[in-house]
Structure 1
Amino acid sequence: MNLSKTLASVFFISLLFGCANQPEKNTEDQEISYEISFENAVHHEAVIKATFTDLKPGKVSLRMSRTSPGRYALHEFAKNVYDLKVTNSKGEELKVERPDPYQWDVNEHDGTIHLSYTLFANRGGGTYSQVDETHAHLNIPATFMFARGLGDRPVKVTFNTRDDLNWKVATQLKHLEGNTYWAPNLHYFMDSPTEVSNHSVREFTESSNGKDYNIRFVLHHNGTDEELDAYFENVKKIVKQQKEVFGELPDFDFGEYTFLACYIGNASGDGMEHRNSTILTSTRSLADGGMSRNIGTVSHEFFHAWNVERIRPQALEPFDYEEANMSGELWFAEGFTSYYTGLILCRAGIITPENYVNGLAGTFNYVWNSPARRFFNPIEMSYQAPFVDAATSVDPVNRENTFISYYSYGSVLGLALDLALRNEGKDLNLDDYMKKVWNTYGKEEIPYTIDNLHSVLNEYAGQEFGDNFFNNYIHKSEMPDYKSFFENVGVSLKTDDTKAYLGASTRNGRIRRNPQIGSPAYKAGLENGDTILEVNGTTIDENTTVASLLEGMKPGDEISIKFTRHGKERQTSVSLGKDPAYTIALYEKDNIPVNDKMRSNRGAWLNKR
């Protein structure tokens, strides 16, 4: 068991959760105890009980978290709590005050507080919890209240499973006995999602640095054992190929890593990394497309076991459960992880090189054809996470023109850096840069900054190379020379200058999104919500779409558009532009000769390690 870093961070966790009622030392009787039951699961309710002992005199603040590890926006979990009761050691009810929507203050107690409340939970993903007769899918911050100032105390939790539903428990928490589990402190507890259901388990042993680690794949689904067996073989391939990137596995606490997959119709599609586990949810069964479409999330989330969980931005330490967490490094933490998501599937033989290369175009076009780069660089895009990472709002926003996902932006920058390093002719590549970051910061769990990443690249590839990358593509929003990078691996990058472009996404004539700044539609004054009635006098109907009418046109053609806005008919003229979309393909697809050097470079990039 390696919890040295977890326990070493106790001081910071204590600061995070406040100092009131902080014990002078940890003892077994200062352990925080939780119990959760699911008798009314049919109506999505769980009953939670908690006991806090050895409390100093004075106010105790009980809170529901507003955030969740792996998420960056605020999520007001307190809204699902009701029927709250607080008593002392004698069972006497205590007075509770509410200073804000997230907190319950107990001002008088006898050193012990017993808490009970009911939680409504009906979203099975990586952020919220879901309780019904299929499972109790629990994200801990969305489920359990905590007491400020007790962040370094160990936690014990008992899951009262439904035997009539054949439920059992799967979690990264340390198993004590029966359905009782343990965490060394509150942060580890909060970072430990739990699946309670009639699930199946597959596991294998992977060795690293002389240690054997148990890799478990837990799947709650309605499929067959044969489907799970086939899927698990791909999971094993992913684990082994990602281990090759860094040269070793992380030193997983308790010697185990657990995939918690839930592929059922009432789940919500999501993936969420945690220290020694990950949540994987999808409405797609393995038989209904999940075998190929769910596996990318497995690749992405396991890569986070290194990049985010241990190669960790300084801005996220310590994690704040009461306010939004903002980091300028998400282009690396999430974006480079996204780059490796598909690359690992290719190296593992789960997708072909041709499919991988063709699949780059969607993200590539989204990033490099976005006007948002004029407003924010990758660091500032990362700062937007509290507003976009499953955040909710009711007012319209202009994301089409002002935001590029740091997942996507970082992914194409990871691609650029990898190919640029390989283009240096010095046996350089992104894998070895990631290894160096891992050995410098991740392995010892030293939080990093952007300047740290810059310095490591300078050390690895030379100052000129490192300065060029960070100064032009991270601190600025310039576009790397992908065309020359791709040529070295026998891949083409091109646009079709003969294809006309309007720049408005339509369905049944209705413009569905804000037109991009600078597009023909934007210049012509067309707007989100407008409905196009006619193009050059031809009516738009179920058989005639805007796209079909543009197919025979050329860039520079002038067209007349009749549309409605707020119930009134209007007219505008549009000068069509050149389609800015790129296609990315292997040279072979375009019958372009591929020489031995290109094949060798491509193999070094895409082949199995």
Structure 2
Amino acid sequence: MTKYVNFELSFSEPQAHYVDVQMTLEGFDDLPYTDIVMPVWAPGSYLIREYSKNVERFAAVSPTEEKIPFKKINKNTWRVYGQGKHKIIITYSVYGFEVSVRTSFIDASRAFLSPVGTFMYVDGYLDLDTTVKIIPHPTWHKISTGLAKTEEANTFYASNFDILFDAPIEIGNQDTWTFEVEGVLHECAMVGVAEYDREQLTQDITTIVKEENRIWGSNPNSYYLFVTHHHQNAYGGLEHLNSTILATNRFAYAQPTTYKNYLALVAHEYFHLWHVKRLRPKALGPFDYTQENYTTGLWVIEGFTSYYDNLIVRRCGFFDEDEYLQALAIDFNTVYNRPGHTLQSAAAASFDTWIKHYRPDENSHNVSISYYNKGAMHAAALDIKIIAETNGKKRLDDVLRAAYQKFYLIENRGFEEDELLTLAEEVTGVSLKEIFEAAHSTEELDYNRYFNAVGYQMVDTANHKHLSLGIKTEITNGITLIKTVDRNFSAWDAGLNVGDELIAIKGYRIEPNNKAYDYILSTSVEGEKIPVLIARDGLVHTLEVELRKSQKKSFEIQRLINASAEQRRLGNIWLSL
């Protein structure tokens, strides 16, 4: 018996942040019941987000409005007892009022719908095709989505639920325009108040798209959608099969630095249309939408992408050499200024992303790193080593292009890390095992060995004579509170805690301007033990803290002054436009 699932979306209470969903099932009458499931996470954002918490007023009826019994059997599954009913109409409302690229947001002016938090599926039938009819609020006039259009107005088609769940929907009055790049139609949808130059954006995004097409060799899409949400303070993105949702500050286009950061974000998310949406670790598709999908390979798909986003901005001529090197150095400083880099590898960070990366707390910097930053460091080492040992004839681009051809275009499957390593060594003729192994270890690579080969060096320019307690503070309601405590440093050993109020140091009252705090650090000597007066849970304590030299790093990546002509030639290949 042929089975059908179709949806209709409407907005009776957008000002109260609701979308109304009608899900129509046909042909399931041969089953004693159907389990209707809402995903718990969004591909590309590795956290159990419990989207079903926003579902209200679930009901099931026949076309004659006869009530069909159901019961909720777990947090995100409704069992509908519709045996003998050829057609079942399920209705529910979803509350959406969380500003992010991963969650739905609805108000009187617009609706952004995260599909995994909006649509449910019939358990066991993810492969069914489906349509979505959208009835916008009367004041809304545009719909932006990567879903395919049908002949019926405001109705869209997905060949399966994986496609549906990978196509967010923006409904409102967004500013939209299209442009073609090498045979692919691109559309920009700009949401919210912002001042930007359409022509300049089109020109710059076109340059990025062409460079990424060159890297990968072909573009799998006929259409691609950029949706940008503008806020007072925001930055981030989430990739999809033929679209991306970006978030940025509404004033980002006014200054060169913030505009280039926006272009790097565009480059990052567009890169993902190949690298994660198609070329991917085995664990990342087909998906289980009801639980975690574990992989140690996020350092490859996110880390490599984080390396390439700024590199592409450099290749496109938006960054000069110094700007690019400063951007790359941020990855090294971010990792090495987290004590957690001695405890967690890039692969372990990938595996534990479900419980760590998206759930940071006051101790996160002591126990973890980001696979984005550490993966970018490993990618830089791979790229440079390949360039150096092939005399500039190969680089990481060639590995990715070959992997895309083999694992996606030819075999249409995900890869294991050892398969990627084997392919990389076959393509380049270079031994890369040490770098892949380093991704699974807390032992650090000698990155200067790689940088030196192409005429660069990484130099720590920090003043390590500066004394420190190993804490960060914040001012809240006029009082100074400890925000973080660095592992195995002065405050850690002395027992200072996050949340402690700093009252006085060495007899001097701590003021919001931190003058006394800075004075003590600048006039004391290494090894001196000083009294620190704190308040904790309403009680006052004095702790003795030893002053030590700061361990914070401030790396810069610089040209080697005495580099040979060959080193400089290879370096020019690495950072060529």
Q: Does 1:562 align with 2:562?
A: no
Aligned to 2:193: 222
Query: Equivalences for 1:288-437 in 2 at 5 Å?
Result: 291-391=259-359, 398-424=363-389, 426-427=391-392, 428-437=394-403
**CA offsets per residue over residues 206-243 of structure 1, 9 Å max, x none?**
33xxxx2212222223235x523322322222212222
Aligned to 2:511: 541
CA, structure 1 residues 579+376, in 2 after alignment: closer, same or farther (shift >3 Å)?
Answer: closer
**CA offsets per residue over residues 91-132 of structure 1, 9 Å max, x none?**
211111111121211123412110111211112422211111
CA, structure 1 residues 223+368, in 2 after alignment: closer, same or farther (shift >3 Å)?
Answer: closer
**CA offsets per residue over residues 292-322 of structure 1, 9 Å max, x none?**
4433321111111111011111012221111
Q: Does 1:279 align with 2:245?
A: yes
Distance 1:606 1:543 in 2: 43
Tell whether the 8 Å contact from 1:329 to 1:382 is kept in structure 2 after alignment.
yes
Aligned to 1:168: 142
Q: CA deviation at 1:139?
A: 0.8
Q: Does 1:40 align with 2:13?
A: yes
Query: Equivalences for 1:63-142 in 2 at 5 Å?
Result: 63-109=37-83, 110-142=85-117
Aligned to 1:240: 210
Q: Percent identity?
A: 25
Tell whether the 8 Å contact from 1:51 to 1:112 is kept in structure 2 after alignment.
yes
Paired AA for residue 63 in structure 2: S
Further displaced range: 59-68 or 350-359:
350-359
Paired AA for residue 575 in structure 1: L
Q: CA deviation at 1:51?
A: 0.6
Distance 1:543 1:121 in 2: 40
CA, structure 1 residues 342+506, in 2 after alignment: closer, same or farther (shift >3 Å)?
Answer: same
Aligned to 2:551: 579
Tell me the secondary structure at the aligned position of residue 505 of structure 1. strand
Q: CA deviation at 1:578?
A: 4.2
CA, structure 1 residues 503+461, in 2 after alignment: closer, same or farther (shift >3 Å)?
Answer: farther
Aligned to 1:604: 573
Aligned to 1:20: none
Tell whether the 8 Å contact from 1:219 to 1:262 is kept in structure 2 after alignment.
yes
Further displaced range: 481-490 or 186-195:
481-490
CA, structure 1 residues 268+140, in 2 after alignment: closer, same or farther (shift >3 Å)?
Answer: farther
Aligned to 2:175: 200
Q: Does 1:438 align with 2:404?
A: yes
Q: Does 1:49 align with 2:22?
A: yes
Task: Flag the structure with more relative contact order, 1 or 2, with Cα contacts below 8 A and sequence separation at least 6.
Answer: 1
CA, structure 1 residues 425+461, in 2 after alignment: closer, same or farther (shift >3 Å)?
Answer: closer
Tell whether the 8 Å contact from 1:336 to 1:410 is kept in structure 2 after alignment.
yes
Count of residue pairs the alignment pairs up: 563
Query: Equivalences for 1:466-505 in 2 at 5 Å?
Result: 466-471=432-437, 473-487=438-452, 488-495=454-461, 496-505=463-472
Q: CA deviation at 1:283?
A: 4.5
CA, structure 1 residues 554+349, in 2 after alignment: closer, same or farther (shift >3 Å)?
Answer: farther
Tell me the secondary structure at the aligned position of residue 282 of structure 1. strand
Paired AA for residue 116 in structure 1: T
CA, structure 1 residues 221+173, in 2 after alignment: closer, same or farther (shift >3 Å)?
Answer: same
Q: CA deviation at 1:547?
A: 6.4
Tell whether the 8 Å contact from 1:501 to 1:555 is kept in structure 2 after alignment.
no
Paired AA for residue 605 in structure 1: W
Paired AA for residue 603 in structure 1: N
Distance 1:182 1:85 in 2: 24
Distance 2:98 2:235 in 1: 10
Paired AA for residue 420 in structure 1: K
Distance 2:387 2:497 in 1: 44
CA, structure 1 residues 53+391, in 2 after alignment: closer, same or farther (shift >3 Å)?
Answer: farther
Tell whether the 8 Å contact from 2:505 to 2:517 is kept in structure 1 after alignment.
no
Paired AA for residue 273 in structure 1: E
Paired AA for residue 532 in structure 1: L
CA, structure 1 residues 492+318, in 2 after alignment: closer, same or farther (shift >3 Å)?
Answer: closer
Tell me the secondary structure at the aligned position of residue 39 of structure 1. coil
Tell whether the 8 Å contact from 1:555 to 1:578 is kept in structure 2 after alignment.
no
Tell me the secondary structure at the aligned position of residue 205 of structure 1. strand
Tell whether the 8 Å contact from 1:529 to 1:565 is kept in structure 2 after alignment.
no
CA, structure 1 residues 532+604, in 2 after alignment: closer, same or farther (shift >3 Å)?
Answer: same
Q: CA deviation at 1:196?
A: 1.1
Further displaced range: 575-584 or 46-55:
575-584
Identify unmatched segments of 5+ residues in structure 1. Answer: 1-22
So what's the TM-score if we normalise by structure 2? Answer: 0.90
CA, structure 1 residues 512+443, in 2 after alignment: closer, same or farther (shift >3 Å)?
Answer: farther
Please point out which of 507, 515, 520 is paired with 2:485: 515
So what's the TM-score if we normalise by structure 1? Answer: 0.86
Tell whether the 8 Å contact from 1:221 to 1:285 is kept in structure 2 after alignment.
no
Tell me the secondary structure at the aligned position of residue 485 of structure 1. helix
Distance 1:128 1:135 in 2: 14
Tell whether the 8 Å contact from 2:451 to 2:458 is kept in structure 1 after alignment.
yes
Aligned to 1:13: none
CA, structure 1 residues 423+534, in 2 after alignment: closer, same or farther (shift >3 Å)?
Answer: farther
Tell whether the 8 Å contact from 2:504 to 2:534 is kept in structure 1 after alignment.
no
Tell me the secondary structure at the aligned position of residue 339 of structure 1. helix
Q: CA deviation at 1:386?
A: 0.9
Tell me the secondary structure at the aligned position of residue 350 of structure 2. helix
Distance 2:516 2:565 in 1: 45
CA, structure 1 residues 430+229, in 2 after alignment: closer, same or farther (shift >3 Å)?
Answer: same
